[in-house]
A and B are shown apart, each in its own frame.
Chain A
Amino acid sequence: MREASTSPIIQVAIRGLMPVIQLVGLYVFFHGHYSPGGGFQGGVLLAVSVMLGRLALGLEMSQVVFRSGIAVGLSAVGVMIYAATGLAALLGGGEFLNYGFLPIPGLDPPALRNLGILLIEAGVTVGVMMALIAIYDEIVESRTESSVLATFE
């Protein structure tokens, strides 16, 4: 899986599929307020689109699509977006993760809760997506003799 696939069918099909899967992932994430979906599912779909690129283009070429070195850091950032939303509510005078107290003027508590849910779902999406990509890259990397990722960090 480190080398690119030699089949032109796989190359063309995955290049066409990747943006569609990313679009569906974003739809599932943003539509979590209205239908089944949300952060975990959207994050998995976005990670799958990057993994498909890794499968078709090889680990080295697909670094252009998404660089492996930033995955772990961004996973931590995702968790921090979640925690920071809770702490912002703490600063606004409420309890931890009580989004009704987010310090954003001009919105009533229900609208603030709606926004808070979107913010934490964004954090979950980034966290899950980057965690899955990091795990996949390390597994591929550990099965090869020489290090590919060390040159991309």
Chain B
Amino acid sequence: MKTLNRILLLALGVVLAVAVAGLPPRGDIQAPSHLAANATGAPVAGAYYIQNAYRHARTPNMVTVILADYRGFDTLGETLVVFTGAIAVLFILRRRTP
């Protein structure tokens, strides 16, 4: 069992390493969101979302589009954190026997 756990852990580590190697570089100035310029002509990240949020998702609330669409993976993590918190509280408080 212990060897199986270690093999699984190693396999997950390999998957993680491959996935991280495929990520775009952090703070890449060539990323589409960094190329859009705002009204004064300065290239800022927010300008891309302001110009394209409604066109991409047909949703008037720009914040919702960024939260749920452009940053959807982040929100999935937030939901998982809430769920994990509930599970942790249950493990601490539950004492009844099934």
| A117:B65 contact, CB within 8 angstroms | yes
Most buried by B among A39, A111, A149: A39
B76 within 8 A of A: yes
Please indicate the chain B residues that have their CB under 8 angstroms from the CB of A142 in the complex: 93-95
Please indicate the chain B residues that have their CB under 8 angstroms from the CB of A141 in the complex: 93-94, 96
Chain A proximity of B57: nearest CB distance (Å): 4
| B residues apposed to A, CB below 8 Å | 55-61, 63-65, 67-69, 72-73, 75-76, 78-80, 82-83, 85-87, 89-90, 93-96
| A113:B58 contact, CB within 8 angstroms | yes
Please indicate the chain A residues that have their CB under 8 angstroms from the CB of B68 in the complex: 38, 116-117, 120-121
Using CB atoms, name the residue of chain A closest to B67: A38
A3 within 8 A of B: no
Most buried by B among A35, A135, A147: A135
Query: For the complex, what is the distance from the CA of A117 to the CA of B75, rounded to whole Å?
Result: 11
Using CB atoms, name the residue of chain B closest to A140: B93
What's the count of A-B pairs with C-beta under 8 Å? 106
- What are the 4 A-B residue pairs with the smallest beta carbon separation, nearest first? A131-B86, A113-B57, A110-B58, A97-B72
A32 and B61 contact, Cβ closer than 8 Å, known pairs A120-B72, A138-B90? yes
Please indicate the chain B residues that have their CB under 8 angstroms from the CB of A100 in the complex: 56
Chain A proximity of B44: nearest CB distance (Å): 23
Q: A-side binding surface: helix, strand, loop or mixed?
A: helix
Select one of B55, B60, B75 contacting A33, CB under 8 A.
Answer: B60
Chain A proximity of B28: nearest CB distance (Å): 17
User: Interface extent on A, as a size class?
Assistant: 35 or more
Please indicate the chain B residues that have their CB under 8 angstroms from the CB of A116 in the complex: 68-69
| A110:B79 contact, CB within 8 angstroms | no
Chain A proximity of B95: nearest CB distance (Å): 7
Please indicate the chain A residues that have their CB under 8 angstroms from the CB of B79 in the complex: 39, 78-79, 82, 123-124, 127-128
Chain B proximity of A86: nearest CB distance (Å): 7
| B55:A96 contact, CB within 8 angstroms | no
A101 within 8 A of B: no
- 18 of the cross-chain contacts (CB-CB < 8 Å) are A33-B59, A33-B60, A36-B63, A72-B87, A78-B79, A86-B76, A109-B56, A116-B68, A117-B64, A117-B65, A128-B82, A131-B85, A138-B89, A139-B93, A141-B94, A141-B96, A142-B95, A149-B96
